[in-house]
Amino acid sequence: MTNKKRVPDDGLVVVGTSTDHLQLGLMKNILEENGIPCMLKERREGSFMEQTMGFSLFGTDILVDKEKEQQAKELLDSFFRSAGE
């Protein structure tokens, strides 16, 4: 997971990026269960690898409202830090 500081034009910010759909689903669930609406945005549509293997070479961004950025990052960082222990 990478936390790149890109700000889309619609007031959303990227709080994480992954090429693994299972990890993306987990991250999305963590945010939504904590009351943070989010959306996934593919970096590149129609990837053969994504459709056949279940992951993307280009990654998918997880976006949240700018006001929820810090809370979202803290939740994700806390979860993945404790999962790695």
pTM above 0.85, yes or no: no
pLDDT digits (tens, 9 = 90+) for 37-69: 999 988 766 555 555 555 557 788 999 999 999
Position 74 scores a pLDDT of 96
pLDDT tens digits, 2-11: 454 454 557 9
Q: Which residue has better confidence, 20 or 12?
A: 12
The domains of the chain, with CATH numbers, are: 12-83 (3.30.70.790)
Q: Is the pLDDT of residue 29 over 60?
A: yes
38-62 residues labelled b (16+ CB within 10 A) or e (exposed): beeeeeeeebeebeeeebbeebbbb
